[in-house]
Amino acid sequence: MATHLLHFMIQSTRFWIANLGLVLGICASLQAHGGRFRPASPSGPPAATGGNLPARPVTGARGGAGAPVAATPGGASAAATGPDTTGWEYWWNFNADPYLDLRRKVFEPRPETGTSDALTGLKESAVKTPAFRPTNYRIERDLLPALEAGLKSGKKDIVTGSMLALAKIGHDPERMVSLFRPFLKEELEIAETAALACGILQSPKALDTLIDLVRDTPQGRRMTGREIQVNPRVRSFAAYGLGLIGHELDKAPLKSYLQSILWDNLTRTDHASQDLAVSCVIALGLLKPEDPSELVTKLLAFMQEDFRDHRVRAHVPTAVARLLQSGPYWKPRQDAAALFLQLMQSVKTEAEVRQSCTQALGILVPGGSPLARRSIEALITAATEDSDRMVRRYAIISLAYISADGGPMAPMVQGRALPFMLRQLDHAATLERPWYGLALGLTVARGRVKGFRVWPNSMVSLVRDRFRNTKAPIQRAAYAISLALMRHEGSEEMIYQAMLKTKEPEFRGYCALALGLMEAREYRNEIRAMMAKARRQPQLLLRTATGLGLMQDRDSVPALVALIRPEKGGPTTSLAVLAAAANALGFIGDERSLEPLAEVLIDEKQQKLARAFAAVALGKIGSKEILPWNHKIAADLNYAATVDTLTDPSNSTGILDLL
């Protein structure tokens, strides 16, 4: 039975925080596919509480939720429901990264005032503890040799994990491309990882390789060892890579060249190549040309060609919004917003396209502009009357975005958007109230970045009331996150006490995360104790560790390392907990974990999955970027219009299912 699990076990931060319980629900039936789990297809409707599946772990593993569970021989699978992609928590975990801003907080020196734990109102003269970001010397001494050894291990999960880790670190890109290129001839799972790794380097040194793959040239076929064509999945991953590189380029002619390649592949792609077309649209949206007007015009025209696959067209609004969200492009912005409003309000428009138009309006429309009135009214109508639940819920988020941009005194924000969201907090359907609660927190958090620091007190008071009076844990958790986004210090004790009074691990984890967002370090001892007891509760382990990372608390590092490198004769760590520990160590980013993790990676006596997870953690710790590399793709993405190479909630086969 193949157990090439890497792509699943290194799932993105947003997916792991919300859906790490998927690991617990996956049966012994594992099919080698780029390191991904291959669970049974979902049966029945999505779970209503966030997508945790019944525990059924890998052969020989312990159930993450309790005692060992016997695996089913021969690939038999228990029936399971898939993750609920319509809940607020699913959106949050695709978009949480800039709000957490975890690596920046972890790597900043932390203010200290001797033995005092009261961190509010510190003076500038406070002593600061040293930052723990690994130096280039440590990366070159400890990380790179271990990861390059992992490439030579011959174990698929270790090879692919090491390859992605090296790409995230990004040292000596030209050499890395030469190391990755031979893996393009390996089986599909490794080949597509190699293509993606070239893109994650975000270096022009990888362009020739990726261009040949995307264009399916004779050289591209030779690189992949194929006579007929480059595999469409490899081409799709290479297209995403071109977008990632183009995002960082500052040479206009080179950007223009990439644009022509991606556009040519998009318009020549037939219905059977849906994945490649989607990857080209998303990559075009990442390019940031000096003047995006011409590209926007072409994309808007493409979007209106009804013979095109509607799932491909559904990604155009996000791409256009990304191209226009910064810069003085008022005419293209007006044209795009007008089209999106028209399509959003038309019953003839496919649901996925309407969903994306709804999201794009939140990115495109300035809160104080003439566009705000019509857009806010249309979004309010969509939020209350649209038949599609994701249109309704994306409309709520877009109202928050526009409100944050305009500020509390903008006429349509003060007179229409904010009163509507506050009223709906009590009067909306039960499952949509958490979305309004989260939206209010997002409004304050995003508004704060714009310089708007004073918002109506009713926003806090009503969210606090919902937190106190809501019983359903996952709904209540949304209000905890909202209060944390508002940075309301008066709510810290309330959230802490609620965390202590419940045994529900998902809610407790979100409370720990909220306290971390508030940097409420006075509660770190209790959260650290929760993490220590969460050995068989991977979601709780991950969220408590994330909260501690946000508090810049590093005392948990040895315990997390011990989960990946257990003592001889000690209990075997389950797959789910291995994943959580690796992610947590990457979140915390303490250079003290480099040496033990590198030792695990190169130690052939360690279990294979522990070695692979060590590579995951090393890549996260040494990453050249503050935010996760795939945040640029995930942010404000319509994940309801997904394709397999983008994200697959059930099988984890997409680019966003990677760390």
DSSP state of 414: I
Task: State pLDDT tens for residues 631-653.
Answer: 999 999 999 999 999 998 777 78
List the domain range (segments joined by +) for residue 303: 161-268+275-328
**The 3-state secondary structure of 452-506, one letter per residue:** CCCCCHHHHHHHHHHHHHCCCHHHHHHHHHHHHHHCCHHHHHHHHHHHHHCCCHH
Of the chain, the percentage scoring pLDDT greater than 70 comes to 82
H helices present in 346-370, as ranges: 351-364
DSSP 10-48: T--HHHHHHHTHHHHT--S----STT---PPPP-SSPPT
Q: What's residue 269's pLDDT?
A: 64
Question: CA-to-CA distance for 523 and 528, rounded, in angstroms?
Answer: 9
Q: Which of the listed ranges 9-23, 43-57, 99-113, 211-225 does the model predict with the highest average pLDDT?
A: 211-225
- Is there a domain that residue 220 lies in? yes
- Is there a domain that residue 646 lies in? no
φ, ψ for residue 460 (rounded to 5)? -70, -45
H helices present in 314-366, as ranges: 316-324, 330-345, 351-364
**Of the candidate ranges 13-17, 283-287, 443-447, 639-643, the one whose mean pLDDT is the lowest:** 13-17
pLDDT band at 582 (very low <50, low <70, confident <90, very high): confident
Tell me whether residue 523 is exposed, middle or buried, using C-beta atoms within 10 angstroms of its C-beta: 0 to 12, 13 to 18, 19 or more. Answer: buried
Question: CA-to-CA distance for 47 and 176, rounded, in angstroms?
Answer: 42
Q: What average pLDDT does the structure give for the chain? A: 84
Residue 141 reports pLDDT greater than 50? yes
- Is there a domain that residue 292 lies in? yes
Provide the domain count of the chain: 1
129-145 core/surface letters (b: 16 or more CB in 10 A; e: else): eeebebeeeebeebbbe
Residue 132 reports pLDDT greater than 90? no
Q: How many CB atoms lie within 10 A of CB 114?
A: 6
Query: What integer is the mean pLDDT of 363-382?
Result: 96
pLDDT band at 1 (very low <50, low <70, confident <90, very high): very low
**Beta strands at 111-112 and 127-128: parallel, antiparallel or unpaired:** antiparallel
Query: What integer is the mean pLDDT of 418-427?
Result: 98
Q: Residue 363: CA atoms inside 13 Å, Cβ hemisphere, count?
A: 23
Task: State pLDDT tens for residues 68-121.
Answer: 222 222 333 333 445 678 999 999 989 999 998 877 766 665 554 433 332 222
Task: State pLDDT tens for residues 199-241.
Answer: 999 999 999 999 999 999 999 999 999 988 999 999 999 999 9
Angle in degrees, CA 345, 346, 350, rounded to 5: 110
Q: Are 567 and 8 in contact (CB under 8 A)?
A: no
- Is there a domain that residue 371 lies in? no
405-437 core/surface letters (b: 16 or more CB in 10 A; e: else): bbbbebebbeebbbebbbebbeebeebbbbbbb
Of the chain, the percentage scoring pLDDT greater than 90 comes to 67
Question: CA-to-CA distance for 647 and 456, rounded, in angstroms?
Answer: 38
Residue 530 reports pLDDT greater than 90? yes
Both tokens assigned to 396: 């709520």
- Is there a domain that residue 461 lies in? no
- Is there a domain that residue 219 lies in? yes
CATH of the domain at 249: 1.25.10.10
pTM for the structure as a whole: 0.86
Question: CA-to-CA distance for 140 and 136, rounded, in angstroms?
Answer: 6
- Is there a domain that residue 315 lies in? yes
- Is there a domain that residue 122 lies in? no
Question: CA-to-CA distance for 31 and 2, rounded, in angstroms?
Answer: 6
526 or 657, higher pLDDT: 526
H helices present in 96-231, as ranges: 97-100, 102-107, 136-138, 144-151, 156-169, 173-180, 188-200, 207-215, 218-224
